[in-house]
Amino acid sequence: MSAIITDPFKKQLTQTVFDEVANNTNRYYIGIGRSEPWDSSETVPTPTDTPRTVRNVRAGLQSIKSASDVSYVIPRYNWSSGSIYQGYDDDFASIPDTNPYAVLTEDNQVYMVLQQAKNDAGTATTSTIKPTGTSTKPFKTSDGYVWKFLYSLSAARSSAFLSANFLPVEKILDSARVNDLTGTTTLSTLEIQQALVQDSAVPGQIIGISVTAGGTGYTSVPTVTIDGDGVRATATATVSGGAVTKIELDSSTDSAMAMGQGYNFASVSITGGGGSGAKARTILGPDAGLGADARDDLKSTSLMFNTKPNGIEDSNFIVGQDFRQVALIRDPRHTSDSAADGPPFTTSSGKVLRFLKLTAAANTNFLDATITGGTSGAKALVDEVDSDRLYFHQTEVTGFKAFAEGEAITGGGTSGTLVAAGVDADSDAFTRDDVDKLSGKIVYIENRAPVTRAANQQEDIKVVISL
């Protein structure tokens, strides 16, 4: 049995997550962790979707930072002169990697191809004229390509969600558009551009016609008839070598193509011309019309989360230390001194590691060392040395035995002594920081080569979830 999950349902699922972030009903954080090497050669393993993997990610977490914004994204394809692009096709499950129909120009504008340029023999020709402008109507460049402008990227959206591999895409919400149309300006200039494109969308248009069989014996141009439940779409065939080589939609008075409107179904018949056997099919645009929702035009079912930890990030992120794992965590909680769950974690960043408090300032040789408790025999890996505190985590290798207060700690060629019970209010030898590493749902795990953080460094961490 073969089956698929349709794009509308994928969009419904991703929209649920998108709305959680937009409406602040659930909080998402990006966490980093795992200071210890993968192996002697630092071979990065592919994570597995198992409870054990999740436990190990939790064990090694160092810090988290809010990912309070999210965007739909698609694979990024840059327009370049001399490339061949395909026209949009309703038979595409996604934007093709080869000859894609959507491009980003150097002006940070996004266009889609409605009609590919072809010579009379039906062979695709290269795009040599960069699409420009923000017209709400399709337009044709002198190289024969027909384009549709969708939207422009702002500097803020580019900074947050544009990467080497991904391009942000979104819809201007109806509420914001209504406010602008009634005189209450809430949209930027670029957002108004996109809102106008959305408002100009025409449902039920025919975007193109694909020749599926050229036939034989044609001595003149046959008649192309489009039948369906819509109106006003017209097209003309080209004949070469006795065969129909291409069929292009005619020009209209207000657009590059006579795409008609109101079509839910449509078929093509080819008659006359002295030949036989030519066949073609119609390509219908998205149900709501081109530009009504760029996420549909570009078949986006992926979300990108972004966060940018900067240096020590309010003392919650470690510098001079590596991380090798990135996790997306939904609704983490504060630590609690009781058996009950702590309150929801809502601040912008937090440290997840536990710490051991020593009786004197800790030697920096403890950093990255495996430490051992002289009485308990407990072991741990030290992630950070901060004054008299050793921030640490335990793994399956070290074991998860608890340290004993007042015991000696050795490791890294040095030693220290844990504060004994009752010495001060902060004497618990197994003290946790502000984030409960056992809380929240881990919804994404990524293994990486080691990244070393520095005080003057800002990471740009992007997490993409695809359905």
User: Are 464 and 166 contacting, i.e. CB atoms less than 8 angstroms apart?
Assistant: yes
Domain coordinates of the chain in residue numbers? 1-72+298-351+435-467, 205-284, 354-432
What local confidence, expressed as pLDDT, does residue 429 receive? 53
What average pLDDT score do residues 294-301 get?
Answer: 96
User: Are 175 and 169 contacting, i.e. CB atoms less than 8 angstroms apart?
Assistant: no
* Alpha-carbon distance values, 213 to 13, 208, 269, 351, 394 (Å): 39, 16, 12, 64, 66
Instruction: State the residue for tokens 């939207």.
Output: 151
**Calpha distance 264→203 (Å, rounded):** 9
Does residue 369 sit in helix, strand or coil? coil
Residues forming beta bridges with residue 267, ordered by sequence position: 227
What average pLDDT score do residues 76-96 get?
Answer: 97
What local confidence, expressed as pLDDT, does residue 327 receive? 98
User: Are 252 and 133 contacting, i.e. CB atoms less than 8 angstroms apart?
Assistant: no
What average pLDDT score do residues 106-131 get?
Answer: 98
**Calpha distance 173→161 (Å, rounded):** 19
Question: What's the pLDDT band for 175 if we cut at 50, 70, 90?
Answer: low
Query: pTM of the entire structure?
Result: 0.92
What local confidence, expressed as pLDDT, does residue 9 receive? 93
What average pLDDT score do residues 157-183 get?
Answer: 81
Instruction: State the residue for tokens 């930890």.
Output: 309
**Calpha distance 383→61 (Å, rounded):** 10
**CB atoms closer than 10 angstroms to residue 237:** 23
The mean pLDDT of the chain is: 93
What local confidence, expressed as pLDDT, does residue 425 receive? 45
Length of the chain: 467
- 8-65 pLDDT tens trace: 999 999 999 999 998 999 999 999 999 999 999 999 999 999 999 999 999 999 999 9
What average pLDDT score do residues 159-168 get?
Answer: 97
Per-residue DSSP letters for 237-250? EEEETTEEEEEEEP
What average pLDDT score do residues 419-433 get?
Answer: 60
For the cut 60, the answer to whether the pLDDT of residue 102 exceeds it is yes
**CB atoms closer than 10 angstroms to residue 346:** 13
CATH of domain 1-72+298-351+435-467: 2.60.340.10
What local confidence, expressed as pLDDT, does residue 433 receive? 75
- 314-341 pLDDT tens trace: 899 999 999 999 999 999 999 886 667 8
**Calpha distance 117→81 (Å, rounded):** 13
Question: What's the pLDDT band for 434 if we cut at 50, 70, 90?
Answer: confident
